[in-house]
Amino acid sequence: MSSFQSVFETFSANYKHNDMVIGDNGKIVDDTSSNGGGYCMCEKVIPKIGEIRFEFEILRIANWCEVGIGFREMIKQNEYKGDGQGKGSYLLGNSGSTYFHLSNNTQGKAFNFQVNDIVIIEVSVEHKYIKWSKSNSQDYLITQIDTSQDLYPCVYMKNSKIKIK
């Protein structure tokens, strides 16, 4: 892998489930609803060339929290709901569960994360992969991704709070 591009990411005030609240100039997303939870997308598209890296700091998990990337238009059409095969995202959940738009080759092993953990995500559209790892840990998971549409960093959560680093 080559050097990573640094991107200044913020959560979108427009591309999100209605229950999500954006704070700290777009750096924090908070969901305190009693409804079913939903997605919040980031503003900037993942570049087609090169590799990018971003980090999510987990501030609160009351129900569940999933982090990864997704097709913004497909997720918007689904009203910012639904994870799993064919739903437009590649997510790793706090309990170690995975939700992939398409199931492909994986390396490593899904892992749990909790409050105060930092989940590091590396993506290459060019090489068609996403990698999740956790700071201060050897844990990692890599899977192939569908790159037929623009991809964006995103979270899918209920009663959780996340900061993008």
**pLDDT, tens digit, 9 for 90 and up, residues 18-45:** 989 999 999 999 998 777 789 999 999 9
Query: Span 4-164: which CATH code?
Result: 2.60.120.920
pLDDT, tens digit, for every residue of 49-101? 999 999 999 999 999 999 999 999 999 999 999 888 889 999 999 999 999 99
The Cα 51–Cα 16 span in angstroms is 25
Cβ atoms 40, 11 nearer than 8 A? yes
Paired tokens of 149: 């549409």
Instruction: Parse the chain into domains and list their residue ranges.
Output: 4-164
